[in-house]
Homo-oligomer: A and B are copies of this chain.
């Protein structure tokens, strides 16, 4: 069986279609790697790509994409609703098959070193690759955003893991690391009031008393005039999708706001969707391993 790693680079460009297509072409051009999906959001001014492949191909794709993004994106001119610190904002590596988390940590370190040495972009390692718990959390690393990074890098405890205490002038810094699979799940509210999405996000995220395995922020989808609760489900067995969806529905009701829709970005394990169906269909004695056909065909 082949080793398979998932790589989900987030770039600070969600408007220039030509550049987004150039990044996609770059990803497709690496042997042993498959570009599964990419989606862009103009309000966020951000694109998320999903690649899978063997560790060697993924490492090469990470460097090539970072290089192209650093040449084409000028963070000094970047505006967007989503927090970000660099042209290549976050590079997560996820062990999917026949690969350990430790191998993905090693892969993230090699990619970080290569990017610093060749492209002179300082790197923070996060999640399982982090040097300590205070920099494991993406929100903590990203705090201050691109504009605050020059000062943050000089603060105690915020030297980058690779590189100098000085941002790349146009590409900023990049956050790289190994992490378990997560589900990127956005819920759009029928309101143009961003403060409602922010208030709802606060009630559901673990860090402010909500569901333990849920991270959430409020952002604005300007082109649709909808406020969005942008969620990372870091453990869908611990905190299932439907529970967060119903919590968002209930909290938004406080302002007379309904849910306009939701979206999944990148890949979602089939079991997370089956668990959702189990809840809504009020299924008795459902057993995912036993009742789902595909589990018996592998």
Q: Which residues of A approach B to under 8 Å, CB–CB? A: 4, 34, 36-37, 52, 96-97, 181, 188, 241-242, 245, 259-264, 266-270, 272-274, 276-278, 280-286, 290-294, 296-298
Contacts and interface: CB of A to CB of B under 8 A. Distances in A.
Given A270-B274, A276-B277, A280-B276, A290 B96 contact: no
Nearest to A37: B290
Nearest to A244: B281
Given A259-B282, A263-B285, A277-B277, A97 B292 contact: no
B261 A283 contact: yes
Given A274-B270, A276-B281, A281-B241, A296 B261 contact: no
A293 B96 contact: yes
A259 B284 CA distance: 12
Contacts of A282: 259-262
Nearest to A267: B293
Contact of A280 (B37, B242, B267): B242
Given A241-B277, A290-B36, A293-B181, A270 B270 contact: yes
A296 B262 CA distance: 23
A222 to B, nearest CB: 17
Q: How many copies does the complex hold?
A: 2
Given A260-B282, A270-B270, A274-B277, 14 more contacts: A36-B296, A181-B293, A242-B281, A245-B280, A245-B281, A262-B283, A262-B284, A267-B296, A269-B293, A273-B292, A276-B277, A276-B281, A277-B280, A298-B298
B270 A293 contact: yes
A142 B6 CA distance: 52
B268 A293 contact: yes
Q: Is the interface of A mostly helix, strand, loop or mixed?
A: mixed
Contact of A274 (B37, B242, B260, B274): B274
Could you say which of A34, A280, A285 has the most chain B C-beta atoms within 10 Å of its C-beta?
A280
- 8 closest residue pairs by CB, A with B: A276-B277, A273-B277, A280-B280, A267-B293, A273-B274, A261-B284, A270-B270, A261-B282
Contacts of A281: 241-242, 245, 262, 276
B276 A97 contact: no
A242 B282 CA distance: 11
A284 B270 contact: no
Contacts of A277: 241-242, 272-274, 276-277, 280
19 contacts: A34-B296, A37-B290, A96-B297, A97-B297, A241-B281, A242-B280, A245-B281, A262-B282, A263-B283, A263-B286, A264-B291, A267-B292, A268-B292, A269-B292, A270-B293, A272-B277, A273-B274, A273-B277, A274-B277
A39 to B, nearest CB: 8
A51 B229 CA distance: 44
Could you say which of A188, A269, A270 has the most chain B C-beta atoms within 10 Å of its C-beta?
A270
